[in-house]
Amino acid sequence: MYKIINAIKDFIQATDKILISLSILTSVYGLLMVYSATKSSLSEGAIISRDFRTMLIAVGIGIVFAIIISLIDYELIIKLWPLIGFFCIGIMIVTLLWGKAPPARPDARSWLVIGDTGFYLQPSELVKVGFIITFGIHLDSVKDTLDKIKTLFLLCVHGAIPVFLIIITGDAGSALIFIIIFIGMMYMAGVKLRYFAAGAGLVAAISPLAWIYALKDLQKQRILALFYPDLYPAVIYQQDMGIRAISNGGFWGSGLFKGTFTQGSLVPENHNDMIFTVIGEELGFVGAVTAIVLIALIIARIIDTGKKSRDNSTANMCYGVAIMLAAQAVVNIGMCLKLFPVVGITLPFFSAGGSSNLSVYIALGLILSIYRYNQTKQLDNLMLIGIRTPFTE
């Protein structure tokens, strides 16, 4: 018992208590909003909804995973990069072959059903973390040759593999987040702006072909509906209701459990992709800003850990996780404010998605591991201790 107590004390002393506290506090806030969003649709005699229970379980399991991962020396995690890479590719191929589309997303076969439980796992959420790990190592291994075309080509191949596998399952939203993570990590690693300009030119050139051959009709309609809402009233309905809900909240909000649109279930998927509309209606501008500030503080803490990292690969990973959270938050809130088309992206810590919450805490476990071992021992650059990749010159 004495050893266990000492181990707990050592963990608390060495871990990032601020990041853990902020994350749990934000998840509690999210759980409260999901409970409110699903309260009116509870069946008779039920205390909590299935979506609330799924999120609660995912957050609980995620916290346990985060603690376990934080106790693993991240040098070991880095040395296991080939296994992580093969797992990510393997699970995406499995999803491609046997993926299912849940009732709320009939346009995307990007979920796996867990046995007979009826729960859906979205592998692309877990693959985000694996991609950040492997791409962070890749960037470090070629940091001295980032001006070479061969290096940039191989980096692009690395980024294109998960994006391609995700797009063909129909999940364009997750593919967009991967692309943002890829670009952000490349920029933070020191790739020069002229290469991004060249890439932007290439994207602009092939955009017409992508519009004609890659996008599905519903995806095109969601984009067009932002500019021509009268032509696509059914497509824009969700976002119109979301804007009205947020407007109804005003500065202070309608009050918890008192939102007209929220409690009337007038905003489709308001417990998940549109959870920000619930915050805006019931807690108003103050509640919405509070949610944004909490997420921003978590991101800032992760970036701070990256700045203090003693090697490039772990700094890359920290920046990758920060970019992931920021990208999802911006895209999700943009969807709710009718600035972006609906692409099925969750709001970190707030949306009810089980896979999303689980992957966020797994990513936080990686950050906690980096923080913990930065505090406890002096590290040499990983390039000097024999960790190599096929991309190393």
State the pLDDT at residue 103: 66
Amino acid at 42: L
CB 309, CB 370: distance < 8 Å: yes
Q: And the tokens for 97?
A: 């072959």
**3-state class (DSSP) for residue 111:** strand
Instruction: Please tell me what DSSP assigns to residue 116.
Output: T
Question: Is residue 378 predicted with pLDDT exceeding 60?
Answer: no
Higher pLDDT, 98 or 22: 22
Query: Poorest-confidence range of 24-38, 202-216, 301-315?
Result: 202-216
pLDDT at 388: 47
- Residue 319 pLDDT grade (very low, low, confident, very high; cuts 50, 70, 90): very high
222 has pLDDT over 70: yes
Is the whole model's pTM more than 0.85, yes or no?
A: yes
Residue range 271-294: average pLDDT? 96
The residue-averaged pLDDT of 128-138 equals 96
Kindly indicate the confidence band of residue 107, based on its pLDDT and cuts at 50, 70 and 90. Answer: low
Q: Can you tell me the distance from the alpha carbon of 308 to that of 302, in angstroms, rounded to the nearest whole number?
A: 10
* pLDDT band, residue 293 (cuts 50/70/90): very high
Per-residue pLDDT, 1: 66
- Which alpha helices (DSSP H) does the chain contain, by range? 2-14, 17-39, 50-70, 74-79, 81-98, 123-141, 149-167, 172-189, 193-209, 217-227, 233-249, 260-263, 275-307, 312-336, 354-376
Residue 154 burial by Cβ neighbours in a 10 Å radius (0-12, 13-18, 19+) = middle
How many residues does this entry show for the chain?
A: 393
Half-sphere exposure of 108 (CA within 13 A, CB side): 25
* Pick from 36, 61, 63: nearest CA to 49: 36
Confidence of residue 169 (pLDDT cuts 50, 70, 90): confident
Over range 301-321, report the average pLDDT: 94
- Cβ atoms of 293 and 287 within 8 Å: the answer is no
Backbone angles phi, psi at 121, to 5 degrees: -110, 130
Type of residue at 323: I
Q: What does the pLDDT look like over 334-360, one tens digit per residue?
A: 999 999 999 989 999 999 988 999 999
Contacts of 331 (CB under 8 A, 6+ apart): 173, 176, 177, 340, 343, 345
What does the pLDDT average to over 112-122? Answer: 75
382 pLDDT more than 50: no
100 pairs with which residues across the strands? 111
Torsion of CA 28, 29, 33, 39, to 10 degrees: 40
Least confident of 118-122, 151-155, 291-295, 346-350: 118-122
Quote the mean pLDDT of the chain: 89
Work out the percent of the chain whose per-residue pLDDT is above 90: 66
pLDDT band at residue 164 under the 50/70/90 scheme: very high
Task: Please tell me which residue, 183 or 213, carries the higher pLDDT value.
Answer: 183
Q: For residue 110, name the pLDDT band (cuts at 50, 70, 90).
A: confident
| Over residues 377-384, mean pLDDT | 43
Could you give the angle at the alpha carbon of 289 between the alpha carbons of 328 and 185, nearest 5°? 30
With a cut of 70, say whether residue 108 has pLDDT above it.
no
pLDDT of residue 104: 64
Above 70 in pLDDT, residue 386? no
Q: Which residues have a Cβ under 8 Å from the Cβ of 239 and sit 6 or more positions away? A: 225, 335, 336, 338, 342
Q: What is the pLDDT of residue 116?
A: 65
The string of DSSP letters for 258-325 reads: --HHHHTT-STTTTTTTHHHHHHHHHHHHHHHHHHHHHHHHHHHHHHHHHT-SSHHHHHHHHHHHHHH
Per-residue pLDDT, averaged over 193-214, amounts to 90
Q: How confident is the model at residue 287 (pLDDT cuts 50, 70, 90)?
A: very high
Q: What per-residue confidence (pLDDT) applies to 175?
A: 93
**Which whole number is the average pLDDT over 196-217?**
89
How far is residue 91 from each of residues 31, 96, 201, 257, 356, measured CA to CA in Å?
Answer: 29, 9, 33, 39, 16
CA dist list (Å): 253 to 154, 283, 335? 50, 4, 20
Amino acid in position 298: I
Structure confidence at residue 214 (pLDDT)? 80
Residue 23 has what pLDDT? 98
Paired residues of 121 in beta bridges: 112
| Range in 72-86, 139-153, 301-315 the model is least confident about | 72-86
Give the whole-angstrom CA distance, residue 232 versus residue 157. Answer: 37
